[in-house]
Structure 1
Amino acid sequence: MLNEQPCKIIGPLNEQDSYETAINENPSNAPTASPGGRNKRGVAIHSKFWASHRTLKIAFLNPPSSTHREAAIKAIKVWQPSINLKLDFVNGTEGDIRITMEPPLNYSAIGTDAMLRGPDENTMNIGTDPEHPGFEATVLHEFGHALGMQHEHQHPKADIPWNKPAVYDFYLSAYQWSKEEVDHNLFKLLEDKLTRTTVYDPTSIMHYPISNELTTGDWSVQKNTILSQNDRRLMRKIYPKQ
């Protein structure tokens, strides 16, 4: 089977810039009041969703073949019924989302963090080969990040029984990931449940597949290849049609 790399997040270089950009784009990204009534002001817990009903321009850098590009566009459009954003696939390189399709890595900025990238920098890379059976699922996953979604296995309520030594060994051997990369992309839970608006969903397109060998006991998650009901429910809540 052709190689497929797990997704990495492009994190912001400056959390304050990330916070200010997100709030300027969409004031509802601001942290909401805690149950005790006090506003939580830590920038790390803000969300990064785009303003509703805006046009999101999507460009391809170092343009792939037309067949490769159209395959990505077809997959991205699967999100369209669940959002109120207009997806405008532009010619040229000027876009809110700028996609490269260079193997083998898969990664993306989260939502409005894309605005912190330089105009000549990509905000997403889809490194999975278009002939790979997981290509569409990879595009769905990466574009979920572009819409502002986080990794589902890092949901505060996930409570995954990780076998951490086995996970470190596997990701080092298979993908040459450091301990810090594994911690950041797998084990670090979202800091506050206010960043999520649905219950933990192991069927989410945003969830890593997890084999039984990487957990204690009998616990695994298969590779999800389609948008789950909760994926769509979350996007309809964030980007309501009405």
Structure 2
Amino acid sequence: MKNTPLNLCTTRLHGGEYGLYVALRERADNVMNAETEPIYGHKPARYLLQEIAAGNKEYSELLLSKETVIGRRETGEILHELALLQTHLWKAGRVLRVRFLEGPEHVHRQIETIAKTWETHANITFDFIAQGQAEVRISFTRSGSWSLVGTDALTERDQNKATMNFDLSDETTSPDAFPATILHEFGHCLGCVHEHQSPAAAIQWNKPLIYSRLFQAYGWDRQKVDTNFFEQAEKALITNSGYDPLSIMHYSFPPEFTVPPTPTPHNTQLSAQDIAFISRCYPFPASSTASTLLKG
């Protein structure tokens, strides 16, 4: 396909019982708090997670339990639902260890440099390590560029398996496009979702053409196309600032993908709204000077 390059990726969601448990514990401060419990009704789930952490219950018991019922929904169902409702954000100030599973050294250096752009605007640190346990593990297979979303990286327990991939054979690895791909995938790593899938976008897709074009070019089946183009993101996962066509999380696609045909920009850097959003998600602590002024 020789049209406008597509910044293609798959924002994968993983499962696995223990992995979900670990991810839920990581998310507890972000999701299961005093504000969200009355809205989503997750207080029983939080209690049971605390019981597991204390060694009083097994996670398998939690999923299979028919004793605790919220309305007509069993606890296991609530927890599986919760794993998809949460924001996927890490805790502000978190240090995420990043390890390459393979790949050339010069590409490693480029990825590290570009990824750290996010650190300027988010209270998060990417610690690139040569060996040892890592939350983010990067491979370079010919499966398209993709990333698990936020704390879903914790659901992949095998330290030899990737949570992010860069396809160096893909057209998105050109000198202009590859830095944008790096920013895009690390945006997913921080919990960002595709901007063109925001309910506020209201894009009218030419679905038959997109299905055909992406199958021919990349072998994508309908489910993968739906996941990356058509399915709207959960409102809890998207920005509150409205649709941002300049977002680094927005695909660049050929005009004929929409009805009527509409060109989209090829975004190569963080937009103003990207920066504002990620700063709210991962706020830096107030400086001592600012605290003094507020107290005064």
How does the TM-score come out when normalised to structure 1? 0.88
1:47–1:135 CA distance, 2 compared to 1 (3 A): same
1:7 alignment partner AA: C
Q: Which residue of 1 aligns with 2:153?
A: 114
Specify whether residues 22 and 156 from structure 1 end up closer, same or farther in structure 2 by C-alpha distance, changes over 3 A only: farther
Structure-2 separation of matches of 1:161 and 1:15: 37
Structure 2 equivalent of residue 85 of structure 1: 124
2:197 to 147, 154, 179: 154
- Whole-angstrom CA distance in 2 between matches of 1:196 and 1:40: 21
Tell me the CA shift for residue 14 of structure 1. Answer: 5.0
How many Å separate the matches in 2 of 1:219 and 1:16? 45
**Cα 1:179–1:111, aligned 2, differ >3 Å: closer, same or farther?**
same
Cα distance change on mapping 1:16 and 1:212 into 2, 3 Å = farther
CA positional deviation for 1:194? 2.5
- Structure 2 counterpart of 1:39: 40
Structure 1 residues 24, 98: closer, same or farther in 2, change over 3 A?
A: same
Residues of 2 paired with 1:240 and 1:79: CA distance?
12
Query: Where does 1:57-136 land on structure 2 (aligned, <5 Å)?
Result: 57-62=97-102, 64-103=103-142, 105-117=144-156, 118-128=158-168, 131-136=174-179
Aligned residue number for residue 189 of structure 1: 232
Match of 1:8 in 2: 10
Note if contact 2:26-2:90 (Cα within 8 Å) is conserved in structure 1: yes
Instruction: Write the distance in 2 (CA, Å) between the matches of 1:91 and 1:101.
Output: 16
Deviation at 1:30, TM superposition (A): 4.1
Whether contact under 8 Å (2:149, 2:192) holds in the other structure is yes
Q: What 5-or-longer segments of structure 2 have no aligned partner?
A: 43-80, 286-296
Letter of the structure 2 residue corresponding to residue 233 of structure 1: A
- Whole-Å Cα distance in 2 between the matches of residues 79 and 114 of structure 1? 18
1:229 maps onto 2:272 in alignment: yes
Aligned to 2:25: 24
Cα deviation for residue 65 of structure 1 reads 2.2
CA shift for structure 1 position 140 = 0.5
CA separation in 1, counterparts of 2:23 and 2:197? 21
Is the alpha carbon distance of 1:5 and 1:158 closer, same or farther for their aligned partners in structure 2, counting shifts above 3 Å?
Answer: closer
Measure the CA separation in 1 of the matches of 2:178 and 2:250. 15
CA distance 1:236–1:104, change in 2 (3 Å): same
Determine the structure 1 residue equivalent to 2:209: 166
Unaligned stretches of 5+ residues in structure 1? none
Question: 1:55 matched to which residue of 2?
Answer: 95
Flag the structure with higher helix content.
2
Supply the RMSD in Å over aligned alpha carbons.
2.4
Partners of 1:68 and 1:121 in 2: CA distance: 19
Q: Give how far 1:21 is off.
A: 3.8
3-state DSSP class of the match of 1:56?
strand
Which residues in structure 2 correspond to 1:169-180 (within 5 Å)? 169-180=212-223
| In structure 1, C-alpha distance between the alignment counterparts of 2:219 and 2:132, rounded to whole Å | 31
1:110–1:150 Cα contact (<8 Å) kept:
yes
- Once the two structures are overlaid, the 10-residue window that deviates more, 68-77 or 23-32, is 23-32
Aligned residue pair count: 236
Q: Which one-letter code corresponds to 1:61 in the other structure?
A: L
Taking structure 1 as reference, are residues 38 and 61 closer, same or farther at Cα in structure 2, changes over 3 Å only? closer
Change (3 A) 1:38 1:102: closer
Q: Distance in 2 between matches of 1:189 and 1:113?
A: 19
Percent identity (aligned): 31
How many angstroms apart in 1 are the aligned matches of 2:205 and 2:252? 13
Kept after mapping to 1: 8 A contact 2:248/2:268: yes
Bigger mean CA offset, 216-225 vs 82-91 = 216-225
For the 8 Å contact 2:142–2:167, the answer to whether it is kept is yes
1:238 maps to amino acid: C
Aligned partner of residue 107 in structure 1, secondary structure: strand
